[in-house]
């Protein structure tokens, strides 16, 4: 396949320069108005390459169709990516750097701040010697999560539009907002989308293929203290920050993200704010195993109960909310989706790495909404931070895998 790598790179660079951070504290959908900018741009580009039924709805979901060009009945495929980027790191004024023919040595992201992208910290960099790497400038995230997926899907569709001789069934494309804050498919219309199954292009390193993800919940712990002048505080002051620290210390030390891998779950403190009078903690709770996941939620409730017994009812208040569930049981009845993706990677000379997602994806919730939707690699590394990077060659392979999946399903009888 002669995929135009310059067009792919230009698209990606164009998208990452648009600030699309989502905001979990917002009450609107999408959570930030700036996501509309990229959504409208994608609408225009989908129309320009020849896609049909291009639409953008009141919630900034972009959908488009490439009609079948064969006279046999084959499955209607979908490909999905999200336009927002993580609010955990600045996403405005993104200045991508391009490192051609990577040497395997340290990359200076920002000389002034002495920020390096080094194989001593990130050994997988050695896998990309000779490749073209796209990095940050050390002050923002890059946005490959998931603007790489966005660019790869539209590049694959552009290739098919430019090569009408390639047989394919009906293909559906969707771009979603607010995935990074767990709301990406809150208003997604599965029936309107019209695919029988789909793939999200929202994974990491080349070769990743994922159909298992965390069960996920969010917990907010509110601690009520009592602020008294410290000179007269004896027997009266209740320091909410110290109580919050006590709560956190009661969680299992080695069940935190920095100590876990593979199928191991965790409690993760993502935010802490407040003072003596009030202090708030925000956690995410994750586990692949549903029973262990439920036990984690029960445990955190027990800790709150214990501390309220110790310090008085109402000192600790807990808000606990499920966010999404493991998609595996929804995908298993249609395992041909996984086998086809595996074969598509092998056709592209890629060794598939089937592994659990240590995170979430729109595909998890979509699978429970009746649209089985495993996750494919988009090629990036170190998402959500200033050390984020992506090899251009991995992006090209992602496009090739999309096209191979299309080819494989176009050859099957249904």
CB 35 within 8 A of CB 60: yes
- Name every residue whose Cβ is closer than 8 Å to that of residue 48 and which is 6 or more positions away in sequence: none
How far apart, in whole angstroms, are the C-alpha atoms of residue 371 and residue 295?
28
CB 80 within 8 A of CB 201: yes
Tokens of 9: 């790179």
Helix, strand, coil tally for the chain in percent (to 5) = 35, 25, 40
Would residue 179 show up in a list of annotated catalytic residues for this protein? yes
Catalytic choice (23, 84, 178, 180): 84
Catalytic choice (19, 146, 178, 179): 179
CB 328 within 8 A of CB 212: yes
- Name every residue whose Cβ is closer than 8 Å to that of residue 42 and which is 6 or more positions away in sequence: 62, 83, 150, 154, 175
Task: Please provide residue 291's backbone torsions phi and psi, each rounded to the nearest 5 degrees.
Answer: -65, -45
The CA-based angle 146-150-156, given to 5 degrees, is 140
Q: Scanning the structure block, which residue is given the tokens 């249904």?
A: 414
Would residue 84 show up in a list of annotated catalytic residues for this protein? yes
User: For residue 110, what are the β-bridge partners?
Assistant: 115
How far apart, in whole angstroms, are the C-alpha atoms of residue 20 and residue 43?
16
How far apart, in whole angstroms, are the C-alpha atoms of residue 160 and residue 67?
11
Length of the chain: 414
- Nearest CA-CA partner of 185 in 321, 30, 43, 53: 30
- Catalytic residue numbers read 84, 179
């Amino acid at each position: 396949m002669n995929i135009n790598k310059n067009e792919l790179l230009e698209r990606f660079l164009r998208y990452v320069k648009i600030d699309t951070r989502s905001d979990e504290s917002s009450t609107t959908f999408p959570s930030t108005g700036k996501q509309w900018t990229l959504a409208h741009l994608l609408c225009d580009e989908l129309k320009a390459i020849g896609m049909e039924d291009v639409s953008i709805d009141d919630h900034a979901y972009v959908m488009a169709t490439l009609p079948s060009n064969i006279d046999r009945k084959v499955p209607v495929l979908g490909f999905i990516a999200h336009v927002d980027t993580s609010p955990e790191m600045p996403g405005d004024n993104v200045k991508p750097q391009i490192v051609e023919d990577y040497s395997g040595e340290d990359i200076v992201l920002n000389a002034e701040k002495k920020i390096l992208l080094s194989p001593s910290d990130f050994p997988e960099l050695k896998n990309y010697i000779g490749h073209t790497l796209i990095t940050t400038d050390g002050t923002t995230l890059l946005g490959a999560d998931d603007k790489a997926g966005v660019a790869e899907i539209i590049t694959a569709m552009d290739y098919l539009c430019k090569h009408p001789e390639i047989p394919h069934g009906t293909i559906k494309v969707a771009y979603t907002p607010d995935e990074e804050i767990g709301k990406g498919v809150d208003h997604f219309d599965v029936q309107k989308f019209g695919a029988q199954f789909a793939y999200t292009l929202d994974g990491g390193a080349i070769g990743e293929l994922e159909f298992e993800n965390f069960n996920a919940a969010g917990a907010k712990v509110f601690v009520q203290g009592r602020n008294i002048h410290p000179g007269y505080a004896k027997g009266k002051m209740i320091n909410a920050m110290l109580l919050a620290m006590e709560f956190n210390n009661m969680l299992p030390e080695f069940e935190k993200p920095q100590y876990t891998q593979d199928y191991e779950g965790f409690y993760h403190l993502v935010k802490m704010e407040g003072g003596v009078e009030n202090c708030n903690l925000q956690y995410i709770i994750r586990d692949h195993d549903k029973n262990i996941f439920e036990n984690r939620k029960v445990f955190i409730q027990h800790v709150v109960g214990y501390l309220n017994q110790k310090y008085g009812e109402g000192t600790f208040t807990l808000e606990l909310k499920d966010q999404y569930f493991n998609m595996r049981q929804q995908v298993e009845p249609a395992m041909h989706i996984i086998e086809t993706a595996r074969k598509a990677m092998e056709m592209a000379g890629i060794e598939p790495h089937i592994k659990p997602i240590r995170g979430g994806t729109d595909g998890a919730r979509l699978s429970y909404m009746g649209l089985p939707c495993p996750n494919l690699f988009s090629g990036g590394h170190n998402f959500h931070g200033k050390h984020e990077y992506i090899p251009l060659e991995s992006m090209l392979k992602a496009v090739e895998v999309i096209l191979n999946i299309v080819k494989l399903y176009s050859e099957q009888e249904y």
